[in-house]
Structure 1
Amino acid sequence: MIGKIARAMTVVVNRYLPDPLIFAMLLTILMFGIGVAFTPHTPLDMVQMWGDGFWNLLAFGMQMALIIVTGHALASSSPVKRLLKDIASLAKTPTQGVMLVTFFGLVACVINWGFGLIVGAMFAREVARRVPGSDYPLLIACAYIGFMTWGGGFSGSMPLLAATPGNPVEHIAGIIPVSHTLLAGYNIFIILALIVVLPFVTRMMVPKAGRVITIDPALLQEEPDFQKKLAADASIAERMEESRIMTLIISAIGLCYLGMYFWKNGFNLTINTVNLMFLIGGLLLHKTPMAYMRAITAAARSTAGILVQFPFYAGIQLMMEHSGLGGMITQFFIDVANKDTFPIMTFFSSALINFAVPSGGGHWVIQGPFVIPAAKALGADLGKATMAIAYGEQWMNMAQPFWALPALAIAGLGVRDIMGYCVTALLFSCPIFIIGLLLF
Structure 2
Amino acid sequence: MSNRRSFLKSAGLAALSLPLLSFDQSQNWSLDPLKRQFEEPDDYWVMIRKQFPLKEGQTYFNNGTMGPTPGYTLDVMINHMLHWNKEAATVDYKNGSGPELLSGYFPYQELREKLGSLINCDFKEISITQNATFGMNYVGMGLDLKPGDELLNTDQEHGGGFGAWQTLAKRKGCVYKQATMPVPANDPQQIYEAVFKEVTPKTKVIAIPHMISVYGTIMPVKAICEEARRRGIFTVLDGAQCVCHIDVDVKAIGCDAYYSSLHKWLLAPPGSGLLYVNKEVASSIWSTIASYNWDNQDDHGFRLMQNGTGNPALIAGYSAAIDFFNSVGKERWLGRIKELGAYLRNGLKQMPHVTVHSSTNEAMAAGITTYAVKGYTGPELQQTLWEREKLQPRSVGNELLRHSVHIYNSKAEIDRALEVIQSLS
Structure-2-length-normalised TM-score: 0.28
Structure with the bigger percentage of strand: 2
Q: Name the structure, 1 or 2, with higher relative contact order (CA <8 Å, separation 6+).
A: 1
Structure with the bigger percentage of helix: 1
Structure-1-length-normalised TM-score: 0.27
